[in-house]
Chain A
Amino acid sequence: MRKISLIERVRRFGYGGIDVMAVFGRSALFLFHALLGRGGIGGGFGLLVKQLHSVGVMSLVIIVVSGVFIGMVLALQGFNILSSYGSEQAVGQMVALTLLRELGPVVTALLFAGRAGSALTAEIGNMKSTEQLSSLEMIGVDPLKYIIAPRLWAGFISLPVLTMIFSVVGIWGGSWVAVDWLGVYEGSYWSNMQNSVTFVDDVLNGVIKSIVFAFVVTWIAVFQGYDCEPTSEGISRATTKTVVYASLAVLGLDFILTALMFGDF
């Protein structure tokens, strides 16, 4: 094995750094052109509706099912812990606050990255490797406008909607377990929740979180597809990257957003 000189190591480190910065720059330019370049979404409303269907509506099943189960588990766990303090009527408030502030936005974003993000990456990556994107460009159609922009907007719109549905369904699932099964009094389940949950601090902050996550996850997914190597391995690598990067970004951003919103700085 040849010994690598120190200066060579520094050079490789610098090369990697430039590479990372170049990716950031490309993705920022990409986002800018797709959202603001040359007059919004091409093909008008129809393309957006089609993408909303494949990104949003098709993700509904997994979101609703996991929402119900997460709400049920939260109620069950919360009941077990709270009943040892004799305050099991606070279970509604616990379920609602946990879902609205943290689990709703985060879990929905993670599921969305796995369900819709990976599909977006694979679809666009396949379009690239079969040279559909370059042929669109050849006939004078801007792929950023007709392919990318509708998908970006569909992601931005779908994820907040899915998050709200997730929270509602989770709270409903929690009430199902707590009230109908474990026998918490229904009135105290809801009134404790209403006393402690505030619309601006809890509901709106959760929605703001989900809007940020929607932006990041969709951006990563679409850019990884657009930027992937046009080969089978390239597409598979890009899809993996989408899920990994999007999940890490969501979890990291969640900490920062929580610190800003609830940290009392």
Chain B
Amino acid sequence: MQNRTLEIGVGLFLLAGILALLLLALRVSGLAPTASTDTYKLYAYFDNIAGLTVRAKVTMAGVTIGKVTAIDLDRDSFTGRVTMQLEKRVDNLPTDSTASILTAGLLGEKYIGISVGGEETLLKEGGTIHDTQSSLVLEDLIGKFLLNTVSKDAK
């Protein structure tokens, strides 16, 4: 009898451990069981990707539709090439869509926002978004602002 309660206790303990791992996987890390097969790849070239990281989300109208999978430098044009995986269900992006690097909140993470264009032709697997807007770099802004005030003073 004593052995039985002991074994039940251990069984519950191990079950609690498995449950905890499941909770960590599903609730905490948001590991969704959807496979990554139903996605397609798009490229975008940015003058400055400052602060964007791999795994950053790609959104459209605020809804997450994909993520950044790779960032590298394009040797010929000296621009940053961002590779994105977008969900297959959003396969109707016109070719003149705009990709811009945005910031969530004042100090938040960087992410890519895509706004739709008006072309008839659609972006396909491996396509490139040409119309891009680079990340807002605070130092550049301050630099421009200072330059403006200086030139005003000179007049």
A190 to B109, CA, bound (A): 16
User: Across the interface, do A198 and B10 meet the contact criterion of CB distance under 8 Å?
Assistant: no
Cβ contact within 8 Å between B107 and A85:
yes
Contact partner of A56 (CB less than 8 A), chosen from B13, B55, B105, B106, is B13
Contact B6 A87 (CB under 8 A): no
Task: Verify if A38 is at the interface (C-beta below 8 Å from B).
Answer: no
A46–B7 CA distance with the chains assembled, in angstroms: 9
What's the nearest-Cβ distance from chain B to residue A37, in Å?
A: 25
> Who on chain B is nearest to A86 by CB?
B106
B50 interface contact, C-beta 8 A: no
Residues on A with C-beta less than 8 A from B61 are: none
* Contact call A193/B13, Cβ cutoff below 8 A: no
Q: How far is the CB of B102 from chain A (nearest CB, A)?
A: 15
B28 within 8 A of A: yes
Whether A60 is near chain B, meaning CB under 8 Å from some CB there, is: yes
- Give CA–CA (A96, B29) in the complex, Å: 9
Given the known inter-chain contacts A164-B21, A168-B20, please indicate yes or no for A57 contacting B9, CB distance below 8 A: yes
Size category, A interface: 35 or more
CB pair B10 A87 closer than 8 Å: no
- The reply to whether A161 and B14 form a contact with Cβ atoms under 8 Å apart is yes
Q: Is B17 an interface residue (CB 8 A)?
A: yes
A238 within 8 A of B: no
* Interface residue? B30 (CB, 8 A): yes
* In the assembled complex, A149 has its CB within 8 A of some CB on chain B: no
Q: Which residues of B contact A191 (CB under 8 A)?
A: 30
Residue ID in chain B nearest A197 by CB atoms: B29
The verdict on A53 contacting chain B, using a C-beta distance below 8 Å, is yes
User: Which among A157, A196, A197 has the greatest number of chain B C-beta atoms within 10 A?
Assistant: A197
Query: Which residue on B lies nearest to A193, using beta carbons?
Result: B28
Across the two chains, which residue of chain B brings its CB closest to A60? B13
Q: How far, in angstroms, from A196 to B107 measured CA to CA in the complex?
A: 15
Q: How far is the CA of A202 from the CA of B21 in the complex (A)?
A: 12
Interface residues of A in 155-202 (CB under 8 A from B): 157-158, 160-162, 164-165, 167-168, 171, 190-191, 193-199, 202
